[in-house]
Amino acid sequence: MSRTAPGPRRERARRGEGDRLRAEILEATQTLLESGGGAHAVSIRAIAQAVGCTPPSIYLHFTDKAQLLLEVCRSNFERMAAETSRAVDGIEDPAEALKAVGRAYVRFGAEHPEQYRVLFMERPPEDIVPMVLTQLDDVTGFAQLLSTSRRCVAAGLFASDDPVAVACVLWAVVHGLTSLLITKPSFPWTERDEAVDRCLDAVCRGLRTPVA
């Protein structure tokens, strides 16, 4: 962060509106995460400066840096779940739905790379309760893939009758694509949606019942 001047002060919230700062802190944390430096740029001091308050004020609303980050993760998991779930809305063909989920998954990661990094690529810091994160990512990322896989398996689209195994393969491919797009952006991936489709097409065709 280096030699940062105090920066402008926000005006103090009025009585009864103390929770406003809480929201501003969460928002500033997201903004800092997105901006260049990634998770490394997110420090209590940097957040305070971005919000326009002092570091101790943050402890008025969060017990810990860990708790603050956990809150941010939780909201990002929810955003991602909302987007992937919206992607399948109204799509009846299970095979099409599967592709839609995959595309939405990769899009979320590509559009929010730093958030995706934190959620799926970094070791969770020891102080964040692992249980919570596990529950959360059971819900997100994988969950939508799993439920759509279930539809496909039920429709007899795949040779396997195990939706979990199917979803694992799909997860590997969409996560692989997403994280490579993030860490190796200089790579010749051509157009993003095209790359996603090529991968998903191949995998889905490969998973199909060999009858066709």
Q: Which does 54 bind (CB under 5 to 8 A by kind): a copy of itself, DNA, none?
A: DNA
Q: Which does 128 bind (CB under 5 to 8 A by kind): a copy of itself, DNA, none?
A: none
The contact mask relative to a copy of itself for 84-123 (x = CB under 8 A, - = no) is ---------------------------------x--xxxx
Task: Give min distance, CB of 48 to DNA, in A.
Answer: 7
Residue the block writes with tokens 């995959």: 102
71 lines the binding site for a copy of itself (CB under 8 A): no
Task: Give min distance, CB of 41 to a copy of itself, in A.
Answer: 11
3 lines the binding site for DNA (CB under 7 A): yes
Q: Which does 112 bind (CB under 5 to 8 A by kind): DNA, a copy of itself, none?
A: none
CB 108 within 8 A of CB 83: yes
Distances, alpha carbon 203 to alpha carbons 6, 29, 55, 71, 148, in Å? 53, 37, 49, 35, 15
